[in-house]
Amino acid sequence: MGVWIKQVESGSPAQRHGIEAGEKLLEINGHPIADVLDYRFYMTERRLRILLQQADGKERMVRLRKDEYEDLGLEFETYLMDRQHSCKNKCIFCFVDQMPPGMRESLYFKDDDDRLSFFFGNYITMTNLSRQEIDRIIKMRISPINISVHTTDPQLRVQMMKNPKAADSLEYIRLLCEAGIKVNTQLVLCPGINDGPYLEKSLRDLGEMYPGVQSIACVPVGLTRFREGLYPLEGYTKEGARQVIETVNAFGDQYERRLGSRLCYPADEFYLKAQWPMPDADYYGEFDQLENGVGLFASLENEIDFELQNPDGRRGSGKLCTLATGTGAGPFIQQMVDKVAGVFPDVRVQVVPIVNRYFGESITVAGLVTATDLVDQLRGKQLGDTLLIPAVMLRHEKDRFLDDQTVEEVEQALGVTVRLVENDGHDFVDALLGEKSAYE
């Protein structure tokens, strides 16, 4: 037990009280420290008793006072302070299993870590959590937690996730909700497997746990061309997508009347597959599931409309630029560009949807467009001064694409400056006007 201290920040409470790199942090106020959750939770108090182990094995106690929530100033070998928890499931729809070779190494790691759910919004299945870990989440009041449910039918969940613990861990959702922990849930829907009556059961069961369950995102399964030897799955047809939307909206209408919240939402991709218009911003409430692709278009359009109503004297540069996106978003992005150009006549932006040949043409989202496809499909075109791309094409550090190529390599290959565009109406309009991003 305990975690080795790699570095002590200069001027921090820890440094002022003589805590040194190379010592092992054992306890804070009598609580054993095993990982980042323990550390972040117990260090927030004003008065701390810190038990340390020195390099020679001797233990010592440091007592200090600091401001509440002031960082103690300790750095560790890794952010989580121990190994990242990997997924123990073998889901029939797992996207990682459909990855081609040659991508970033981190993309082949199957994450299922409750700590990353809290800090970064990752979704977890709970199948590698014990009851003791659930009790810790409740004790620390960690909220919200994002949970991949897929189905509330215990037997079907086991079949879909190929893990016998998938059934028992469903009970954890109820325990969390009863303890006042807020839960966002997602259902990755596979045609003919967990939709239809199973989808109705899932929406009904999760709705019964409101307000603990605060949102349910229904997302279509993503299928790449690399599925040899994997479970036979098919993507959603137009009619299948429409059936899902009708089912989810029927429950949503009911919940809105009874609970004052729609609670359940189809992902934008379902509307694209159904060839139906997207709902407006009011439909999505607080936009709890933007990271799951729920309400992205409506949110962006709403923000763009606000920007256009408040132009603040801005004007376009008059220079040609190119905006590349996924084929799914292409028509919508063109509409938004036309809308901006209607207010700023100097805007000259050509929209180019990029066909996803790397993963397969059934993949239409912008976030899975690679540098390989960008370069192959844009080389030789008149791109203008700048190539605009959605920031979601890059990893969190915003430097590398999924195929491990850098932004600089794309710029060199195409002979154009690349400008990232955040999923934010203000940044979208700024990008079209030729202004620098505030995020850079």
The whole-angstrom separation of Cα 355 and Cα 377 is: 8
Single pTM value for the model: 0.82
DSSP 8-state code for residue 124: B
Q: State how far the Cα of 310 lies from the Cα of 312, in Å rounded to an integer.
A: 6
- Parts of the chain with a pLDDT under 50: none
CA distances from 202 to 122, 141, 193, 271 (A): 21, 26, 13, 20
Quick one: pLDDT at residue 85?
Answer: 52
- Tell me if 326 sits within 8 A of 269, measured CB to CB: no
First vs last Cα of the chain: how many Å apart? 40
pLDDT at 116 (0 to 100): 57
Instruction: Name the helix (H) or strand (E) containing 389.
Output: strand 386-390
Q: Which tens digit of pLDDT belongs to each residue from 368-385? A: 999 999 999 999 999 998
How far apart, in whole angstroms, are the C-alpha atoms of residue 396 and residue 264? 28
What pLDDT is attached to residue 392?
A: 93
Model pLDDT, residue 438: 72
Name 251's Cβ contacts closer than 8 Å, sequence gap at least 6: 200, 203, 204, 207, 263, 264
